[in-house]
């Protein structure tokens, strides 16, 4: 870094959604002179939209793995056995290990394997949680 440059915290570069309009207003008062024509802005917009990349590539697609080949459910961190949700905790059916956060790793795996977001239904399916089944079984 050259001398005279101020080191900014990452939080100085982040604008929260609720502050976005006021931050844009501040920028509009700071920069009043137009540097690009409307035609240039349209070209820039088109290029940005065409070159936009979410940065996500599906590992399954890359290696030709089908979704059905991925084991669903929460895996025990101790013995790799299947864990079941019971009274707000995950319980290993094999070694009886108990965890409140065992599902976090499975969700992280989902984001890496499938896509960077998940719906409630997809989450329940992936974690192999069936609330109706549990109501009748317990």
94 touches Zn ion by CB under 5 A: yes
107 Cβ contact partners less than 8 Å away, ≥ 6 residues apart: 118, 123, 126, 127
C-alpha dihedral sign at 63, 69, 73, 76: negative
CA distance 98 to 85: 10
Place of tokens 């949700």: 85
74 touches Zn ion by CB under 5 A: no
Looking at the Cβ atoms of 76 and 106, the one nearer to Zn ion is 76
CA distance 17 to 24: 11
92 touches Zn ion by CB under 5 A: yes
114 touches Zn ion by CB under 5 A: no
Minimum CB separation of residue 83 from Zn ion in Å reads 7
79 touches Zn ion by CB under 5 A: yes
Looking at the Cβ atoms of 94 and 115, the one nearer to Zn ion is 94
Q: Which residues bind Zn ion (CB under 5 A)?
A: 76, 78-79, 81, 92, 94-95, 97
């Amino acid at each position: 870094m050259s001398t005279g440059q101020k080191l900014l915290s990452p939080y100085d570069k982040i604008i929260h959604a609720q502050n976005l309009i006021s931050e844009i207003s501040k920028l509009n008062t700071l920069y009043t002179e137009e540097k690009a024509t409307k035609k240039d802005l349209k070209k820039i917009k088109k290029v940005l939209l065409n070159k936009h990349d979410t940065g996500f590539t599906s590992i399954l697609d890359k290696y030709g793995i089908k979704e059905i080949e991925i084991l669903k459910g929460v895996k025990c961190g101790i013995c790799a056995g299947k864990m079941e949700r019971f009274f707000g905790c995950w319980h290993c059916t094999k070694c009886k290990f108990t965890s409140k956060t065992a599902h976090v790793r499975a969700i992280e795996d989902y984001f890496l394997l499938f896509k960077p977001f998940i719906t409630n239904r997809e989450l329940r399916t992936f974690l192999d949680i069936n609330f109706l089944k549990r109501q009748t079984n317990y």
